[in-house]
Amino acid sequence: MFRNHIKIALRNLIKNKGYSAINIGGLAVGMAVAMLIGLWIYDELSFNKNHDNYASIVKVFQNQTFNGNVETSSNVPLQLEAELRNTHGSNFKYIVTAGFPSEHLLTFGEKKIIKVGNYIGAEIAEMLTLKMIRGTRAGLIEPNSIMLSESTAKAVFGNVDALDKIVKLDNKEALKVTGVYADLPDNSTFQQLNFITPWTLLKKDLPKWLGWGNNWFQVFAQVAQNNDIEAVSAKIANAKLKNIDAEEAKYKPEMFLLPMSRWNLYSEFKNGVNAGGRIEYVWLFGVIGVFVLLLACINFMNLSTARSEKRAKEVGLRKAIGSMKAQLVMQFFGESFLVVAIAFLLSLILAQLSLSQFNEVVAKKVAIPWASPVFWLASISFILLTSFIAGSYPALYLSSFRPIEALKGVSSRLGRMAVAPRKVLVVIQFTISITLIIGTMIVYRQVQFAKSRPIGYNRGNVISSPIKSDQILNHFATFREELINMGAVEELAATDTPVTNTTVTNGGFNWKGKDPGMAEEFVTLRVTHEFGKTMDWQIIEGRDFSKDIVSDSMGFILNEAAVKYMGLKDPINETIHWGDNEQYKVIGVVKDMVTQSPYEPAKQTIFFINYKRVSLVNMKLKPAVSASEALAKIERVFKKFDPENPFQYTFMNDEYARKFNDEERTGKLVTFFAVLAIFISCLGLFGLASFTAEQRTKEIGIRKVLGASVANLWQMLSQDFVLLITISCLVAGPISFYFMTSWLQKFTYRTEISWWIFALAAAGALTLTLFTVSYQAIKAALMDPVKSLKSD
């Protein structure tokens, strides 16, 4: 019997090649999309699970209150590790302090490479359960040591054993390689940890004045066995508060632990409360994947039920000779399984062919795990589930035909039974598709809205280069003069952080009229005198910094947000106290500059002169000189002052563009899914239109004989589908408005949802529908009425 069912299923597929192609093609596309999204979701959900201590590793965060707003950060003071060890040591197995990953120069002989690494406490190797290839996890206990990832060791030493070799770090420290560990996977927070060197190397060079108020570091820990993370988190809440004076205490610091399981998906906080994070994208793309697959299943249901009349006599005959309903149900489920299995094999090919482009868009390296038994078990379950979803309604519907009516071919009643569910399914299909189209347009509008926002300075034709030698700092005036004289640079200035990503904030400011209880916070940017000329900022009050005025070394320039934040009515020449003794005078006010998120208001910012604690040179290139020529000249000057380090640079436009990566990636993916959704929906619509035209062949012939024009017949065959799509538009509008309004709420600086977006999406959907249906409608209308009336 099973062989007979397979034979009949294959015959039906071959006999109805067009409908079979639509069914299999639509299902294959839907399953490929679901597969790619499934691989992406698995990668997100398995983040950091390569570490054996995943469940007990934590990172220390703190909440601080600034002027009534709670801000959350993983930046903590240097002294925190000692406090946790001394007071709460029994609650932890390991505690390590770390800097932040950054690029460093590794030198061995003539070989020089730049790799991202970090200074971390020696226990990190055990905490992360690094897979050692050479050496042991205890390697960082030696004070002048370094541990390399496998790929870094190969890049530096080739095929030579790296163990016990001496490398130079940033041309300063000579370090012995005490271990080589396997590269960490791409879905690990520490994926870029190409080397680790002891925290003590960084600590010995830190300023002696660093206190509890300098939140410059990170602390990772592993909670001891049988300790609850939440309970330990509550115990350390006052670890900082009890060690600071009244001035610092006004910020109400509260420490807490964030488990490794939440680092990737739940890393966003608003007003001190966890507000989700990437988990929103997991849900979004998971739902989209299910919907795209559902669209393909709806095609299968619709086309199967639409062609039910062709198989009514088969069902009637089978029932007449004794087939039970359960047997018929199994037969049709078997046919569904066969179609889905063929579609699945095709979807594997489509997914594999699409992986490289998909990975490029999502910035991942996911792959189909061909050798994994779990993958194949999941695939079989996926096929069975899809077969059940796609074949459930057709199987139950077809097996319910009464044998006498089916054998008589009472098609009109059968058609009426099927038409209502088919219409509902078509409405569902296009509601999903139109919702995705509207969502795509709003995401695109939001990104463009933020991109076109005035940022208050010129980032075009400006490059930034890190300062890696004290020679540049010690001879900055000569360095600047040579760069300008060589003819490629208009102006340049140094800063302590990138202009497009100011990360340093400070408190401890006092000014006339300040509320004594105010817990203030300012972004502070150290600059050199020519910063304003380099960035073309816009002075709206007062003046720019001047080398000719010595007192400017103790001058502040505020942005508009800072003036408003401080409540200054006439800010020029106002005195601002910073710390205990330092007094600064406001010499100018500049238009707000977007130096952080382009979706948020500009933060209150103070600019001041400092030539010692700067780390970047920002250079405005001359427009008349080509970029390649300018970079070659700049490199020669850098090499003169810093011959040991490779010349590195980034264009400020590129740095700023990276701020939109997440939203642009979301927009590209939603666009891709929306296009596929509308394609699958139109594919099903094409099949239904073809069947409708075939079903009404005689009617069309009679109408043509009675004088109906091609336009009349086209209208008759198209109007039902147009009505269904119009209903879909009316349903999709409120749904998309609700969800996209919620999505936009996460941005303070956001676009409006305009009515024309819905109108354009509806017009596009109706146009596609007419285009899809018209081919079959016009083809049927142009058929010779004699042939139409002869058809059976």
With residue 134 as reference, give the H or E element that holds it: strand 132-135
User: For residues 133 and 178, what is the distance between their CA atoms, to the nearest angstrom?
Assistant: 11
**Tokens in use for 353?**
């062919």
Query: Rounded to whole angstroms, how far apart are CA atoms 646 and 627?
Result: 18
**Residue 130 gets which letter from DSSP?**
-
Can you tell me the distance from the alpha carbon of 546 to that of 724, in angstroms, rounded to the nearest whole number? Answer: 70
Compute φ and ψ for 116, nearest 5 degrees.
Answer: -85, 130
| N-terminal to C-terminal alpha carbon distance within the chain | 31
Assigned domain for 428 exists: no
* 148, 195 Cβ separation under 8 angstroms: yes
Quick check: 519 and 251 in contact, CB under 8 A? yes
Pairwise CA distance, residues 365 & 752, whole Å: 35
Evaluate whether 688 touches 718 at the Cβ level (below 8 Å): no
- Is 429 part of any domain? no
Quick one: tokens of 742? 């919620």
Query: What is the pairing mode between strands 69-73 and 195-198?
Result: unpaired
CA-to-CA distance for 638 and 414, rounded, in angstroms? 82
> What's the DSSP call for residue 293?
H
Taking alpha carbons only, the member of 321, 301, 322, 313 closest to residue 401 is 313
Q: Under DSSP, is residue 502 helix (H, G, I), strand (E, B) or coil?
A: coil
Which of 340, 374, 409 is the C-terminal boundary of a domain?
409
Identify the pLDDT of residue 412. Answer: 45
Per residue in 581-590, pLDDT (tens digit) is: 789 999 999 9
Quick one: which of 353, 338, 600 has its CA closest to 455?
Answer: 600
Q: Are residues 610 and 662 in the same domain?
A: no
- Is 416 inside any structural domain? no
Amino acid letter for position 362:
V
Same domain, 560 and 587: yes
Burial of 615 (0-12, 13-18, 19+ CB in 10 A): middle
| Residue 520 in tokens | 């203030």
The answer on 759 and 620 residing in a single domain is: no
Residues 472 and 603 both lie in one domain: yes
Strand pairing partners for 523?
A: 505, 605
Q: Where are the alpha helices (DSSP H) in 661-709?
A: 661-695, 697-705
Q: What is the pLDDT of residue 222?
A: 97
641 lies in a domain?
yes
Under a CB-based contact definition with an 8 Å cutoff, are residues 546 and 516 in contact?
Answer: no
Q: What are the respective helix, strand and coil percentages of the chain, to the nearest 5?
A: 50, 20, 30
Sign of CA dihedral 375, 379, 382, 384: negative
Would you say 233 and 256 are in contact if contact means Cβ atoms under 8 Å apart?
A: yes
Q: What is the DSSP string of 75-91?
A: -B-TTHHHHHHHHHGGG
Q: pLDDT digit string (tens) for 622-669?
A: 999 999 999 999 999 999 999 988 999 999 999 999 999 888 888 888
pLDDT 10s digits, 187-221? 999 999 999 999 999 998 898 889 998 999 999 99
- CA–CA gap between residue 698 and residue 64 (Å, rounded): 78
CA-to-CA dists, residue 548 to 479, 480, 545, 562, 583, angstroms = 19, 17, 9, 26, 20
**C-alpha span between 545 and 354 (Å, rounded):** 54
How many whole angstroms separate alpha carbon 219 and alpha carbon 238? Answer: 16
Give the DSSP letter of residue 174.
E
Give yes or no: residues 61 and 184 share one domain. yes
Q: Could you give the C-alpha distances from 307 to 304, 681, 687, in angstroms and in order?
A: 5, 18, 10
Which of 398, 487, 744, 769 is closest to 599 using CA atoms?
744
Q: Which two tokens stand for residue 158?
A: 């080739």
Count of structural domains within the chain: 4
Question: 248 with 335, same domain?
Answer: no
Give which of 687, 706, 723, 716 is closest to 781, Cα–Cα.
716
DSSP H stretches of helix in 452-540: 470-474, 476-485, 531-535
Instruction: Using DSSP, state whether 366 is helix, strand or coil.
Output: coil
Residue 174 lies in a domain: yes
Last residue of a domain, one of 263, 282, 309: 263
CB 716 within 8 A of CB 704: no
> Which residues fall within 8 angstroms of residue 292, CB to CB, at 6 or more apart?
29, 30, 33, 34, 673, 676, 677, 680
Q: How far is CA 689 from CA 19, 286, 322, 694, 739, in A?
A: 11, 31, 35, 8, 32
Q: How far apart are CA 250 and CA 68, in angstroms?
A: 11
Length of the chain: 792
Domain-embedded: residue 568? yes
Please answer whether residues 700 and 780 qualify as being in contact, where contact means their C-beta atoms are separated by less than 8 angstroms.
Answer: yes
Kind of pairing between the strands at 195-198 and 111-120: parallel
Residue ranges in the chain whose pLDDT is less than 70 = 1-16, 18-19, 304-329, 390-391, 393-419, 690-700, 704-706, 710, 713, 776-777, 779-792
For residue 411, the model assigns a pLDDT of: 46
The SS3 assignment for 57 reads strand
- pLDDT given for residue 340 in this prediction: 84
Q: Are 275 and 250 part of one and the same domain?
A: no
Could you tell me if 601 and 700 lie in one domain? no
In DSSP terms, 94 is beta-bridged to 222
648 and 663 in a common domain: no
- Coil, helix or strand at residue 197: strand
Do 554 and 634 sit in the same domain of this protein?
Answer: yes
- 773 in a domain, yes or no? yes
Scanning 243-372, the segments in alpha helix (DSSP H) are 246-249, 279-306, 308-320, 325-362
Could you tell me if 439 and 511 lie in one domain?
no
- What is the domain range of residue 471? 462-652
- Note the pLDDT tens digit of each residue in 589-628: 999 999 999 999 999 999 999 999 999 999 999 999 999 9
Last residue of a domain, one of 600, 630, 652: 652
Query: Using an 8 Å Cβ cutoff, are 297 and 389 in contact?
Result: yes
Give residue 464's pLDDT.
Answer: 96
Q: Is 248 in the same domain as 185? A: yes
| HSE toward the beta carbon, residue 64, CA cutoff 13 A | 26
Could you tell me if residue 427 is inside a domain? no
